[in-house]
Amino acid sequence: MNMKKLLQAAVISGIAAVSAQSFATSSATFNHPTVMTTSGSSSAFFVNATNGKYFCEGFGFEQMTSGTIKCGEDESSYANFNWNDKASEYEDTGSKNQCYPLFASITCSN
């Protein structure tokens, strides 16, 4: 086998190995996740099953399997998925002097 064919075979084998490895990922954890809102801004988002599922599906995963929580502040706005519009929209927290649960991390899987 000449050198050119040998190099082509090595490159093709390497590409196949990388492709197989990237498809083997069955879960991933995202720290400090954000979503793009309808206003075009990136935002932290409220903890709920709908937001978790939507976030994971955006990365090609089937479901959210776990996550951690952080507190959002009063008088702030965070993203919340709107099923009717199929998009994340800002939602105000108001001022109730409480913790507004946001995702600090989220784990997605297939």
pLDDT of residue 97: 87
pLDDT of residue 4: 46
Give pLDDT tens digits for 38-57. 999 999 999 998 999 999 99
pLDDT of residue 19: 41
pLDDT of residue 39: 92
What mean pLDDT is reported for the chain? 83
Spacing of C-alpha 110 from chain mean position: 13
The structure's pTM equals: 0.73
pLDDT of residue 12: 44
pLDDT of residue 23: 53
